[in-house]
A and B are shown apart, each in its own frame.
Chain A
Amino acid sequence: MRDSARSLVHRAAAAAAALTVALAAPAAAHEEHEHLPHHWESPGVRGELTGQTGILLLGWLAAAGTGRLLARKERERC
């Protein structure tokens, strides 16, 4: 019981420390980021996302086909 409580306190302390760092970073970087162009304003980012989506879609179709083939082979073996 005591070990469990101690473990919970340790985890809470670690999470609190990580949360403090995570919260401090965006607050500190806030002023610097304000002057940079946003990703939704960049045509390059939009093009990159569209291209990657196309490639991933093809990859997904290929992977789904391979998966179906493997499942059929597995059924035949059984």
Chain B
Amino acid sequence: MHRLRQILAIARVAYLENLRKQVLQVTLILTIAAIGSTTLLSFFDVGVQIKILKDLSLAAILFCGGVLAVVLSAGNIPGEILTHTVYPVLARAVRRSDYVLGRYLGAMATAALCMALLAVVFLGILAVYEKTFDGAVALGMLFILIEVAVVAAIGTLFSLFVSPLVAGTLTIGVFILGQIKISFLHGAIERSASPAGSLLLKGLYAALPNLDCFSFKDALVHNIAVPPSYMGIVALYGLVYCAFVLSVSGIAFARKDL
């Protein structure tokens, strides 16, 4: 109970720090503007317009989520080390792994708040067109949040080994390659003629998270039913991935010479 209180206190401070970041506010405003601008395509009939609205808005929200994950995770702990604010916290009886978890939860709380704001705007506009609340789209956005959580966990791990700039770049790389893992990398392995290239691609394939599994954009746009059991597997995969990466981050931070 005492440990949980410590983790939540660290998370609260991280959350309040993150809310002041300008890049977060700018990204949020631009994404809301992008979602709002899709309503200007009034020359299509309503059915097509709803499809375009869902497609572009979900792409914008995913992009915003990616930016949030990179911005919030890459500088989360190195920034604290740089400003020396980490030392008074660790001087108390706080486990280093708890500190990593607290900072990560603070970043995720900020990301969740941003996603909730975007969801309100997007679902509000959608409700005007469809004349009903689209629960499937809300569920789809929850999976985008899980994807953001996975990317942020990876960014947190990278930030413990390299500088924030390099960690951010690597996280962007993982975010982009993870999106095309099944749709592109799988085919590239099959098409690869050289054994060395194939081995390299297989290694990359095994190391990358399956981020494209979190995207149900096509199903939401074309109203295709997705088996609930599959969604359960994907959600479990995301949560276990986060838990594993954060555990490794906790060990890395515990062994780090501060």
Contacts of B217 in A (CB 8 A): 26
Contacts of B219 in A (CB 8 A): 38, 40
User: What per-residue 1/0 map shows which CB atoms of B116-155 lie under 8 Å from chain A?
Assistant: 0000000000000000000000000000000000000000
Contacts of B224 in A (CB 8 A): 38
**Which of B216, B230, B248, B254 sits near A70, CB closer than 8 Å?**
B254
B60:A11 contact, CB within 8 angstroms: no
User: Of residues A11, A26, A50, which shows the largest number of chain B Cβ atoms within 10 Å of its Cβ?
Assistant: A26
Q: Complex: how many Å from CA A59 to CA B233?
A: 18
Interface residues of B (CB under 8 A from A): 22-23, 26-27, 30-31, 34, 55-56, 59-60, 62-63, 67, 95, 97, 182-183, 210, 212-213, 216-219, 222, 224, 226-227, 230-231, 233-234, 236-237, 240-241, 243-244, 247-248, 250-251, 254-255
B251:A70 contact, CB within 8 angstroms: yes
Min Cβ gap A63→B in Å is 4
7 contacts between A and B (CB under 8 A): A15-B26, A15-B27, A18-B63, A39-B212, A42-B182, A56-B243, A67-B250
**Which of A12, A22, A49 sits near B63, CB closer than 8 Å?**
A22
B230:A46 contact, CB within 8 angstroms: yes
Q: Complex: how many Å from CA A53 to CA B240?
A: 7
Min Cβ gap B52→A in Å is 8
B240:A57 contact, CB within 8 angstroms: yes
Known: A15-B30, A40-B230. A23 touches B59 (CB 8 A): yes
**Which of A12, A50, A56, A67 sits near B254, CB closer than 8 Å?**
A67
Known: A40-B219, A56-B240, A67-B97. A22 touches B212 (CB 8 A): no
A19:B183 contact, CB within 8 angstroms: no
Contacts of B59 in A (CB 8 A): 22-23, 25-27
Q: DSSP majority for the B interface?
A: helix
A67:B247 contact, CB within 8 angstroms: yes
What's the tally of chain A residues with a CB closer than 8 Å to chain B? 38
A49:B55 contact, CB within 8 angstroms: no
B34:A23 contact, CB within 8 angstroms: yes
Known: A40-B230, A49-B237, A53-B237. A23 touches B30 (CB 8 A): no
Q: Complex: how many Å from CA A23 to CA B34?
A: 9
**Which of B56, B63, B240 sits near A60, CB closer than 8 Å?**
B240
A52:B247 contact, CB within 8 angstroms: no
B-facing residues in A1-24 (Cβ within 8 Å): 8, 11-12, 15-16, 18-19, 22-23
Contacts of B63 in A (CB 8 A): 18-19, 22-23
Min Cβ gap A67→B in Å is 5
